[in-house]
Chains A and B, each alone.
Chain A
Amino acid sequence: MHRILSKETLAPDVVRFWIDAPVVARKRRPGQFVIIRLKEDGERIPLTIADADPSRGAISLIIQGVGKSTFALNAMEPGQAILDVAGPLGLPTKIEPNRVCCIGGGIGAAVVYPIACGVKAAGGHVVVILGARTRDLIILEDDLRAVAHEMVVTTDDGSYGVHGLVTDALKNLVANGHTFDEVVAVGPLPMMRAVCDVTRPLNLRTIVSLNPIMIDGTGMCGGCRVTVGGEQKFVCVDGPEFDGHQVDFGELSARLKAYREQEAIALKRYREMTAPSA
């Protein structure tokens, strides 16, 4: 059992938890994730470890509510416990003292933040592009500003920061003479794909972090398989980070929709069960 130590709402439907997980905290490096299960009838879901404090034996998770499990998780309170937490899983980010452009789209900021911290700590130069659809959905702005050597914030609707997409901001930086050794882009699949389309002709190495459906997380079932450079990879043991220019985004996008019908049923049932009584 893993007790929730603290809870903070970062945006509508976006929650940051610190939870008790000493075995995970001790070993965790940026880029890794956990698989959690809320309770006995729950499903196993992967969540990136946003941060870890080994001295406290705690890890932080930033969760966006999208379906039953994440909404149920976000409704939990400090003092309550999550039944199962396994990790740290996946390969850690390869951190080098490079000039890195870290692009976080929406909840992707939570994945990019530890990487940005790592690159800075290694002596690299970190430029952050933080984007979201609208002002309310911008998260971790202060945390990222504290780590970044330079930072641009964008919103699709112009309600905050620069009006435009993260790809517009990236193109601008490049046009204004910024050079990078690599780009790290994490966010919704269409965003990561769009960044790769911009960087491919520039021959600019781009790392993405993939989010397929997972079950065991240890390489045993193949449910999280993706095609990278024409080869089969399992995101849980070969990833979660890959060379974005080699990823078959179309295939991953299709596979993410496998359980749409069941997800809708589960969410509807959850909303009915938790609706306040009339």
Chain B
Amino acid sequence: MAKKIGLKTKTPMPCADPQERRHAFSEVALGYTTEMALVEADRCIQCKNRPCVAGCPVEIDIPTFVRQIAEKDFQGAFNTMVSKNVLPAICGRVCPQEEQCEKLCTLGVKFEPVGIGRLERFIADFAAEMKLVDTAERKPPTGHKVAIVGSGPAGLTVAADLAKMGHSVTVFEALHKPGGVLIYGIPEFRLPKAIVEREVNGLKNLGVEIKTNHVIGRCFTIDELFNELGFEAIFIGTGAGLPHFPKIPGINLIGVFSANEYLTRSNLMKAYRFPEYDTPAIHSRNVAVIGGGNTAMDSVRTALRLGADHAYLVYRRTRTEMPARNEEIEHAIEEGVEIMMLAAPTEIFGDPQSRVRLMRCIRMELGEPDASGRRSPVPKPGSEFDLEVDTVVFAVGQGANPLIRSTTPDLPVNKWGNIVAEPSSGATAKRGVFAGGDIVTGGATVISAMGAGRQAARAIDKFLRYPGKDDAKAVASGE
């Protein structure tokens, strides 16, 4: 039965002071104390309809875990959480809950929704601090072997789900650390790498084997995984790892980066700790980041922390059209990022040593909507202006990394190189091969990749148990 409505606004999330945090890589959002969590959990009126659950791509039993927190049954809340989400400390930090569970919250109709994301983060961090263990029963080993290509959010979710079902899972990761975009893309101050490591280790406790420095497509092809290493099913979660550069003069000058390179140097290789860590970052005074999504926000806030005097965000539409989370845009503005709307670069100029010294931009106005439904930017002739910068970072979207498709000729891809997969199962036309996450959809979110992983794990489990079925897609669609 629904409780009475209490507090109408969310318990605020403590945040590090903007003037201090803009120079540091420590976490910006500091997390709830137990007292704050109890207050926030108590706001949930335990409504009958529970619309929040439908908004969660990984189907977390939200009302139950929130009630358990309110009742101080922290072990219970943790069990409920990890039965559906093996990466709660990560999701609690990076999911756009305002677009998902919290958007559908009953309390949110009239007042502020329950801070579901903040509670998710709380229970994950609390469990880690208190060393709580997932006490769910393990299924016995099935003897089936599954290979997972890519240790990003999609791959990790498939791995955990299949391991819990008793299958033998090996994850192949190209880089030297697991996590994918969690480790190279999202900055330390939004998602501490120690947390990623902690949650990935949780998977190892489930029996998942992770092999880093294994570039599938080179050290083993997909067919070799089947034929030589004896895997019965393969999930491809290799992500959107192909940077896009616009075709304008000057993009190969020193100081022009894809967001991937810029963030990988800082996040994965810890260039912000050079020379203690060997990977360097360019010494930048004035940085321009082109784009309006979360990757652009991450890049521009990283630029401030790497010591820039000015960090500009140059976006060709307006704030309304920006795909980035509102919370990230707010944090960026608080920290002193200078946002230039309705502008786009036309040319980058270098000095005699080929280092960036100037970026020419043109002003835009919004015209007719394009395929995404957003109004298209149209250049205003004669409105060029120059920005004195020494670094330009392009965060304008990503394509599909070519390594798997170029070494697996019978795996269908679309004209952009994304793998073609059945949406509710991840099944591809190649028998035993499933795919999900950015490699299928193009650049999207951590949680949508996890949702795809959840569905694919179900489909793979069915495929393993009914090997007589020739058509994986038929199996996956529930025949």
Chain A residues in the interface with B (C-beta under 8 A): 23-24, 26-27, 37, 41-44, 68-69, 83-89, 215-223, 225, 227, 232, 237, 251, 254-255, 257-259, 261-263, 265-266, 269
A-B contact pairs, 22 of them (CB 8 A): A23-B214, A27-B219, A41-B277, A43-B269, A43-B277, A44-B269, A87-B215, A215-B264, A215-B265, A215-B279, A219-B241, A219-B402, A219-B403, A221-B258, A221-B261, A222-B245, A227-B252, A237-B402, A254-B353, A255-B252, A255-B254, A257-B353
Beta-carbon contact of B275 and A87 below 8 Å: no
Beta-carbon contact of A257 and B269 below 8 Å: no
Quick one: which of A68, A218, A251 contacts B278, CB cutoff 8 A?
A68
Beta-carbon contact of A266 and B402 below 8 Å: no
Beta-carbon contact of B215 and A218 below 8 Å: yes
Which residues of chain B have C-beta atoms less than 8 A from A23's C-beta? 214, 219-220
Which residues of chain A have C-beta atoms less than 8 A from B277's C-beta? 41, 43
Q: Are A86 and B275 also in contact (CB < 8 A) when A227-B252, A237-B402, A266-B280 are?
A: no
Which residues of chain A have C-beta atoms less than 8 A from B174's C-beta? 86, 216, 218
Instruction: For residue B47, give the distance in angstroms from its CB to the closest CB of chain A.
Output: 44
Q: Size band of the B side of the interface? A: 35 or more
Instruction: For residue B46, give the distance in angstroms from its CB to the closest CB of chain A.
Output: 45
Q: Are A220 and B243 also in contact (CB < 8 A) when A42-B278, A257-B254 are?
A: yes
Instruction: For residue B351, give the distance in angstroms from its CB to the closest CB of chain A.
Output: 11
Instruction: For residue B262, give the distance in angstroms from its CB to the closest CB of chain A.
Output: 9
Closest to A69 in B: B278
B354 at the interface (CB under 8 A from A): yes
Question: In the complex, A265 Cα to B354 Cα: how many Å?
Answer: 21
B3 at the interface (CB under 8 A from A): no
Question: In the complex, A259 Cα to B252 Cα: how many Å?
Answer: 15
Which residues of chain B have C-beta atoms less than 8 A from A259's C-beta? 280, 282
B370 at the interface (CB under 8 A from A): no
Question: In the complex, A14 Cα to B338 Cα: how many Å?
Answer: 49
Closest to A37 in B: B176
Which residues of chain A have C-beta atoms less than 8 A from B111's C-beta? none
Beta-carbon contact of B275 and A269 below 8 Å: yes
Instruction: For residue A155, give the distance in angstroms from its CB to the closest CB of chain B.
Output: 32
Closest to B177 in A: A84
Which residues of chain A have C-beta atoms less than 8 A from B213's C-beta? 84-86
Beta-carbon contact of A220 and B401 below 8 Å: yes
Beta-carbon contact of A254 and B279 below 8 Å: no
